[in-house]
Amino acid sequence: MKATWENKYVVFDVNDGPKTMIDALNLEGAEGWEVASIVSVAGNKLCAFLKRGDYIVEPSPEQEKRDEVLKLWGGKNE
């Protein structure tokens, strides 16, 4: 399996309260983003670092050979 990662950050003001953060993070989560870490910056700000993975399943050489033979002989992949 091969993975590629996208990263981004979102900055929150602590004075806006936790509901603002939760709503924003849930919205990002619906798009596949997850929180990797949160750090405090500039006193009353929180910076949330988000990541989103894209996973690619690569067939093994044995599986590729099996698929090739099945294709030649008109078999179905199971």
Instruction: Give the tens place of pLDDT for each residue, 23-68.
Output: 999 999 999 999 999 999 989 999 999 999 998 888 788 888 888 8
As a whole number of angstroms, the distance between CA 27 and CA 8 comes to 14
Per DSSP (E only), the strands in 1-78 are 2-13, 34-41, 45-56
Question: Is the distance from CB of 39 to CB of 10 less than 8 angstroms?
Answer: no
pLDDT at residue 75 in the model: 66
Q: Is 90 exceeded by the pLDDT of residue 72?
A: no
Q: CB-side exposure of 70: number of CA atoms within 13 Å?
A: 10
Cβ–Cβ contacts within 10 Å for residue 60, how many? 8
Domain 2-72's class? alpha beta
DSSP 8-state assignment for residue 14 = G
Q: What is the pTM of this model?
A: 0.69
